[in-house]
Structure 1
Amino acid sequence: MHDADEPGRFRTLDLIDAHAGGDVGRVVVGGVELPAGTAAERARMLQRDGDGLRRLLTQKPHGDPSQCVDLLLPPSTPEAHAGLVIMGTMGYPGFSGSNAMCAAAAMVEARLVPLPDPEDDLLLETPAGLTRLTLTARRGRLDSVAYDALPGFAVPGDHVTEVEGWGRVRFRLVYGGVFYAVVNAAEVGLDPARTPVSELARFFDAFLPRAAGEHELVHPEHGVMPPLSLGLLAGTVDLQPEQPRVDLAVYMDGGVICRGPTGTGTTALLVWLHEQGRIAPGATVRAVSPFGQEFTGTLTGTTAVGDRTGVRTRIAGRPYLLARSQIIIDSDDPLVDGHDLPRGPSPAPGTS
């Protein structure tokens, strides 16, 4: 039990864990308070002044590097249902499809939004902008979440870097809501569907620091972006069957091969396929991870992204609830000491 004579020593965070495509999002629904601001401003504030929360919840014993933390906050715009800040070993991505799906499942579970009957929209304010998700219920539970992704695009031209053990590796820089270094798996002798996951991680551990150190990432509308922290290995492309399948592996800085294809990874894959002339608007593919988890991605059209031609995509998947819990943070615990944590309870999303 908490010691009432030591006010301020203990913190309690209210969590709902969910997964979408196998990737776990730990959704913080209470226990954190941040100053008013946009989701982007709050993400920058956490990175600058409160990064201990991210580090604490993505490390054992409070968390795990393979999991992301999704912080629900009141939105800064009245049209949004909630603000969402995403944190992981890679830092503070502007958007993540699987984490948006997990946040949607948690909001339904916590009754912050009603279960759709049978379909309804949910608008999330993320650091990358507003994203509208379509929630569909079936048999009294949330069955699927689909969303129109942020416009994706490829940086013009191939890039090449020298990687120890693999020689010269060719890749493209692709934006799917965050930037990825996309590598054709066949060119480096790997296959996301058959190569052991440990070997996929070994490749990315050697490759990504080389690629990240050589390129500044710039979005034509949003300016300089965070350093490269995500990689994508595009494997077997089978576009012949009725439901075309593409194997891929997504790597997250920190040594993690994601269990799912991820939402932004699926968008980046569609951008890459479109750049190669492999798919046209209207095409739908199943993006399948090394663990057999999948999302469906549809290339819905093209659009301008600043002075570049980008593509629009719609990503769909199914989130599953895992747990509802509380984490107790004891400031006297040496594992907590030194973590710069934001203070106070958070009002429920949708309130101010």
Structure 2
Amino acid sequence: MPGEHRVEAPTHEPICKTVEMHTGGEPVRIIVSGFPEIKGETILEQRRYVKEHLDHYRKCVLHEPRGHFDMFCALLVKPTVEQADLAVIFMHNDGYITMCGHVVISLARYAVDHGLVKNITSPETKVNIQCPCGLVTAYVAFDGKKAGAVRFISVPAFVYRTDIEVDVPRFGKLKVDISYGGAFYAFISADKVGLDLKSSKIRDIADAADEVSAAIKRQVKIEMAGNKDLSYLSGTILTDGNDSINGRTSSHVCVFGDRQVDRSPCGSGVTARVALQHHKQLIQLNQTKSFQSCRTKAIFTGKPVKPVSIGQRQGVRVEISGKGFYCGSSTFTLEQDDLIGRGFLL
């Protein structure tokens, strides 16, 4: 038409394609394609390579404007062990974690729905997921048409130390427990830092937990025998203090990374807490307990199912159950001159 002015479409470089899910309200952004080649003979080497050479991709996909402060991503990588159906690197706002149960729950359902498992069976399909902490076996309910709820068996979980006294500047001397469920977490009742999980602001909870984590990192050396990649504190979990043996539902909040708040009950955190309660004889083998997010009200169940030895330590394998849901899919792009679009956090 006369006078028509055509604007040339801007060129933009594809970053990646994702499938969006959530488990108990906690995001699961599964990166299914578009990520650069990752080098490494083991999954821990692959995780280290991404951290050292491709961290700008994590920031671009997780941070604003595509994500947010509490976004969580699962990067699918090539398995390096024969038994695995798929392998995953977990990414959060401040870096990488060795285990994430809420991702395993959604990812196991995704694997069945998208044919990543060779042998799909009813009423359950077995999915082996290689995580940085080790091989995790999930069982996905399947009715012949649709995948549903998921349970998974953890890597060996154990108590690292109990009643550790740490000096936290704002709160003074506190006693915490540290337990491992694929990653190390500290546990303390919220009332010990003057908070109530039901009524306190979530940022007050996050700040307090982060201060406890910072103090532990300064004062307590955490070591996983023979593996430096696993030898660090992932975060602090503030509980409602309900550790009684009667099996009532208990609430807690997991704060990890850079004050990132888990909306779900946190699968690896529940694993570590079940191991801690079993160690304290508050839960018996094959006894199920429910753990609830104090904000979304989502529930994961956990139970110790098998005693194991980890070097000189005694621990358990824990079964965690929950359900993941689909939210959509995304194709992310980046224009070459978009410096802000490379990722930022407020």
- TM-score class, shorter: 0.7 to 0.9
Superposition deviation, residue 56 in structure 1? 1.8
The 1:64–1:138 alpha-carbon spacing in structure 2 relative to 1, beyond 3 Å, is farther
Q: List gaps (5 residues or longer) in structure 1.
A: 340-352
Match of 2:200? 195
Match 1:16 to one of 15, 19, 22: 19
1:136 is aligned to 2:141:
yes
Q: Distance in 2 between matches of 1:154 and 1:16?
A: 35
**Aligned letter for 1:144?**
A
The 1:176–1:240 alpha-carbon spacing in structure 2 relative to 1, beyond 3 Å, is closer
**Where in structure 1 do 4 or more consecutive aligned residues deviate above 6 Å?**
3-6
Match of 1:258? 262
Q: Distance in 2 between matches of 1:338 and 1:58?
A: 8
Cα pair 1:193 1:247 within 8 Å, conserved: no
Counterpart mapping for 1:297-308 below 5 A: 297-308=302-313
SS in structure 2 of the partner of residue 80 of structure 1 = coil
Match of 1:95? 99
Q: Distance in 2 between matches of 1:308 and 1:238?
A: 22
Q: Distance in 1 between matches of 2:143 and 2:198?
A: 31
Q: List gaps (5 residues or longer) in structure 2.
A: 1-7
SS in structure 1 of the partner of residue 96 of structure 2 = coil
Match of 1:183? 188
SS in structure 1 of the partner of residue 207 of structure 2 = helix
**Aligned letter for 1:31?**
G
Cα pair 1:221 1:306 within 8 Å, conserved: no
Counterpart mapping for 1:15-34 below 5 A: 15-32=18-35, 33-34=37-38
Fraction of identical pairs, as percent: 24
Match of 1:273? 277
Q: Distance in 2 between matches of 1:187 and 1:233?
A: 9
Indicate the larger mover: 289-298 or 90-99: 90-99
Q: Distance in 1 between matches of 2:34 and 2:15?
A: 6
SS in structure 2 of the partner of residue 170 of structure 1 = strand
Return the TM-score normalized by structure 2. Answer: 0.88
Q: Distance in 1 between matches of 2:84 and 2:98?
A: 16
Superposition deviation, residue 335 in structure 1? 2.5
Paired residue total: 334
Task: State the Cα deviation string for residues 113-147 of structure 1 (Å, max 9, x = none).
Answer: 47653311011112111111101124833211111
Superposition deviation, residue 14 in structure 1? 1.1
Match of 1:164? 169
Cα pair 1:153 1:309 within 8 Å, conserved: yes
Q: Distance in 2 between matches of 1:338 and 1:318?
A: 30
Task: State the Cα deviation string for residues 169-223 of structure 1 (Å, max 9, x = none).
Answer: 2111211110111112333333334433232123123222112222232113534
SS in structure 2 of the partner of residue 156 of structure 1 = strand
Cα pair 1:98 1:262 within 8 Å, conserved: yes
Pairwise CA RMSD: 2.5
Task: State the Cα deviation string for residues 219-256 of structure 1 (Å, max 9, x = none).
Answer: 13534635323111121427576x63111111122222
SS in structure 2 of the partner of residue 322 of structure 1 = strand
**Aligned letter for 1:276?**
K
Match of 1:56? 60
Match of 2:5? none
**Aligned letter for 1:327?**
F
Match of 1:211? 216
Cα pair 1:244 1:284 within 8 Å, conserved: no
